[in-house]
Every structure is written in C-alpha cells, then in structure tokens.
C-alpha cells in the first residue's frame, strides 16, 4: 500500500478468481479498471463494471469474484480520513476519480498526496438507479439455483441442468417458455 490515508493495491484476476469472505480495518473501494467484479456482502450482491465501484465500510465482511478476467484496484481508506457512508454504497467512477487513483498510485510528496486524497473522497458520489441490488432468494430451492449461477456467472446451463444440480428431479418449465418483457 502507498503511504497516506489511501492505499492502492492492484490485483490481476482470472475469470472466477475470488477473495473469499474477509474483512478489513480500512474502508475499501472495490473497483475494477478492466473487466467485471461481483461483490457479496451478507445476502446482497453487486455486479460492477469499470464505471462503478462499491464502497465497503471498515469492518464489513465481504467477498469478491471476477465475473470475467479483470483488474481489481483495491483502494483502502483509513477510517479517520472519512466517514462518508456507513453501509455498502455504489459510487460512480468518473474519469476524474479514475485519473486521481492513477495519480495516487505514483510517488508523491505528502502535501500532493493529501490534496489528491481529499479531492478523490470529495468526487465520489453515490449512484441511484444505475445498479440492481438483488437479495438472495429466501426459498431454499431458488437459493440453491442462485448459488449455482453465482458460482459460474458466465456459464449457460439449461434449466433442467439447474434443476438436477440443485436437487430437483426436473424443472417445472423451460427457460425458453418464461414470459419475456415486451
């Protein structure tokens, strides 16, 4: 990590690679500069392209998985530097925020670093409506299928395969017969 209130660590991730459930003493901004990242907090999941990041408050148990090959930028913020969000919060990764992270990844004097860190924390803004926050199903059968899909988010098994793998003898209907939006 860098010296200062914000540290940045880069992780090259293969499709399906994950960091199992863990916790940090620092706030984390989970962001991919390339690829797609899924973050799990409790029974909530967020799928994040490079235009979005998830603010994970210090002390929050979470897991991350690369949906496709990805470059995750682990951005860690000392709790004393900000108390912006107490809950996981999706934020926009604007071009300015991305450039600031690149700048902070370099060698800086303390005064330069301090200014850039303050600006970065100021430009992070929550995004409403651009994400879908889906809780895990409460029904055990639906939860089993959801866990199979999350285990291989890029896969395309047939509904009968999901049924068999989740412990059901057959699917009540095929995915192709489901209603489609107009």
Which pLDDT tens digit goes with each residue over 33-54?
Answer: 999 999 999 989 999 999 999 9
Provide the percentage of residues in the chain whose pLDDT is more than 70. Answer: 74
Question: Does position 109 have pLDDT exceeding 90, yes or no?
Answer: yes
Buried b (16+ CB within 10 A) or exposed e, 157-171: eebeebbeebeeeeb
- Cβ atoms of residues 72 and 11 within 8 Å: yes
Handedness of CA 173, 177, 180, 182 (dihedral sign): negative
Reference 64, options 117, 11, 113, 133; nearest CA is 11
Identify the top-confidence range among 53-57, 125-129, 174-178: 53-57
Q: Which residue has the higher pLDDT, 123 or 128?
A: 123
Provide the percentage of residues in the chain whose pLDDT is more than 90. Answer: 62
Domain boundaries, the chain: 6-123, 137-172
Q: Two tokens at 92?
A: 């926009």
Can you give the pLDDT at residue 133? 58
As a whole number of angstroms, the distance between CA 169 and CA 123 comes to 52
- For residue 76, CA distances in Å to 3, 55, 80, 138 come to 11, 10, 12, 33
Can you give the pLDDT at residue 170? 55
6-123, CATH topology level: Jelly Rolls (2.60.120)
As a whole number of angstroms, the distance between CA 161 and CA 152 comes to 13
């Amino acid at each position: 990590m860098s010296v200062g209130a914000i540290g940045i660590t880069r992780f090259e991730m293969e499709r399906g690679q994950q960091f199992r459930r863990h916790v940090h003493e620092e706030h984390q901004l989970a962001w991919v500069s390339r690829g797609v990242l899924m973050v799990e907090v409790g029974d909530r999941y967020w799928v994040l392209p490079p235009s979005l990041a998830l603010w994970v408050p210090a002390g929050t148990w979470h897991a991350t998985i690369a949906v496709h090959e990805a470059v995750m930028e682990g951005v860690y913020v000392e709790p004393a530097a900000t108390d912006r969000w107490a809950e996981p919060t999706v934020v926009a990764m604007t071009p300015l925020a991305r450039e600031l992270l690149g700048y902070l990844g370099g060698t800086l004097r303390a005064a330069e670093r301090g200014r850039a860190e303050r600006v970065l924390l100021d430009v992070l803004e929550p995004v409403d409506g651009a994400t879908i926050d889906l809780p895990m199903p409460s029904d055990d059968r639906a939860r089993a299928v959801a866990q199979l899909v999350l285990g291989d988010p890029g896969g395309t098994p047939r509904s009968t395969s999901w049924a068999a793998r989740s412990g059901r003898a057959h699917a009540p209907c095929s995915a192709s017969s489901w209603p489609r939006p107009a």
